[in-house]
Amino acid sequence: MNTVIETRNLVKRYGRLAAVDGLDLTVERGEVFGLLGPNGSGKTTTILLLLGLTEPTSGTVRVLGLDPLRNPLEVKRRVGYLPDQIGFYDNLTARENLLYTARLTGLSTVEANTRIAEALERVRLTHAGDRRVSTFSRGMRQRLGLAEVLIKRAEVAILDEPTSGLDPQSTQELLELIVELGREGITIVLSSHLLTMVQTICNRVALFNRGRIGLMGRVTDLTSDVLGGTHVVEVEAEGVDLRAALEGAPHITGVTEQRPGLWRVDADADARPEIARRVVTAGGLLRTMSIRHTTLDEVYVRFFEEDKIHAAA
């Protein structure tokens, strides 16, 4: 059994508003899967539906082959959850907080204490284990939340906005931990509105827009499907019409003029030598040229812009 999470035509309505509107999602074992989209696009609702913490209006959910509504305890035993803006009991120490949830998971105190020590070590919080959580920074709290998932030995970890509100260094540390977990074979589903930040660690992503999945697939596939390329070359040149000059060039999938003298070239490979050659051949003056990978943000904006235009038409 390789499908870990499967939803079919999942709908959740709050009154007339459909927070999740016909969701078909499949996550395979061992994947790092990203639910991406702006705030209010249905990511958190989807996660709550997966955990059985809220009931779907219609449609079905299967997590590890189980129905989270019918078999919530088994699902929650095998799935770890790191909520958005995670909270702890501030008057208790980190260890006490973990012990409480470990006891709720059904671990004996002895077993729980060994696992807590291991988990704290993994998330590098051993030194702070006996401090009250009220003294913890945002990043420490998130890592403590991750420790909770570790203690549970979850097969699937669902992380809701794990990096929101973190400084760049904490973000990097947390992302590294997540990648490590993924390498150990834990299936990871994470949601984020910071598309670019997570595109590096996700195998596959789903882009959410108003309760629906607009796009789903591997990051490179998405960028080439929507923008026609995985690389963006910005070219600053004078005395040349780049659009005409690049006509028929290999690897080039699109040319747009951003302002006079500045072009954006989408390509599915590093096409800089070819561009340079053609600019010079056409008699233009090449000033600068820079290349970068296409970001998911661009994909998102492009895709849903088109969507909006379609909706308006």
Partner 1 sequence: MPQREGSPFTGLATVALKEAADHMTSARIHLVMLLVLLTAIGAVYAAIGQISQTVSEDQFLFLRLLTTAREPLPSFVAFLGFLLPLVAIALGFDAINGEYNRRTMSRILSQPIYRDALLTGKFLGCLLVIALCLLVLWLLVIGMGILLLGLPPSAEEILRGLAFLLASFVYAGVWLAVAMVFSTIFRSPATSALATLTVWLLFTIFWPMLSPLIAGAVVPLDPFDPMTAVHQVELQRAIARISPNTLFGEMTLAILNPETRSLGIVFANQLSQAVMGAPLPISQSLMLIWPQLACMIAALLVLFTGAYVSFQRQEIRA
Task: Tell me: does residue 91 bind partner 1 (CB under 8 A).
Answer: yes
Please list, in sequence order, all residues whose beta carbon lies within 8 angstroms of the beta carbon of residue 153, skipping any fewer than 6 positions away: 115
By CB under 8 A, residue 263 contacts partner 1: no
- How many other C-beta atoms are found inside a 10 Å radius of the C-beta of residue 91? 10
Q: How far is the CB of 122 from partner 1 (least distance, A)?
A: 19
Q: How far is the CB of 223 from partner 1 (least distance, A)?
A: 32
Applying CB under 8 A, does 59 fall inside the site for partner 1?
A: no
Q: Output 7-10 pairs: Cβ under 8 A, ≥24 positions apart.
A: 7/46, 7/49, 7/50, 7/59, 7/60, 7/61, 7/62, 8/59, 8/60, 9/58, 9/59, 9/60, 10/46, 10/49, 10/56, 10/58, 10/59, 10/60, 10/61
Give the interface segment with partner 1, choosing from 80-88, 217-225, 236-244, 299-307 (CB under 8 A). Answer: 80-88
The SS3 call for residue 45 is: helix
x/- letters, 139..178, toward partner 1 (CB under 8 A) = ------x--x------------------------------
d(CA 192, CA 119): 24
List the one residue out of 270, 277, 279, 225 whose CA is nearest residue 252.
270
Query: Which span (24-32, 77-85, 192-200, 212-220) binds partner 1, by CB under 8 A?
Result: 77-85
Tokens of 118: 């291991």
Distances (CA, A) of 71 to 1, 74, 149, 170, 233: 18, 6, 20, 36, 51
Least Å distance, CB 34 to partner 1, is: 20
Residue 307 near partner 1 by CB under 8 A: no
User: Which residues 105-134 are close enough to bind partner 1 by CB under 8 A?
Assistant: 105-106
Locate tokens 């709550």: which residue? Answer: 48
Contact between 45 and partner 1 per CB under 8 A? yes
Q: How far is the CB of 90 from partner 1 (least distance, A)?
A: 7
User: Is residue 295 close enough to count as binding partner 1 by CB under 8 A?
Assistant: no
Q: Is 280 near partner 1 (CB under 8 A)? A: no
| Overall size of the chain counted in residues | 313
Size of the site for partner 1 (CB under 8 A): 34
Exactly one of 77, 204, 251, 272 binds partner 1 (CB under 8 A); that residue is 77
Using an 8 Å Cβ cutoff, are 245 and 284 in contact? Answer: yes
Q: Which of 13, 30, 38, 101: binder of partner 1 (CB under 8 A)?
A: 101
Angle between helix 138-151 and helix 94-105 axes, rounded to 10 deg: 30
User: Which of 21, 24, 67, 155 is the binder for partner 1 (CB under 8 A)?
Assistant: 67
How far apart are CB 169 and partner 1 at their closest, in Å?
A: 24
CA angle 164, 155, 57 (to 5 degrees): 70
Identify which of residues 105 and 192 has a Cβ nearer to partner 1 in the complex.
Answer: 105
Using CB under 8 A as the criterion, which residues of the chain lie in contact with partner 1 when the complex forms? 44-45, 48, 51, 53-54, 67, 69-74, 76-77, 79-81, 83, 85-91, 100-101, 103-106, 145, 148
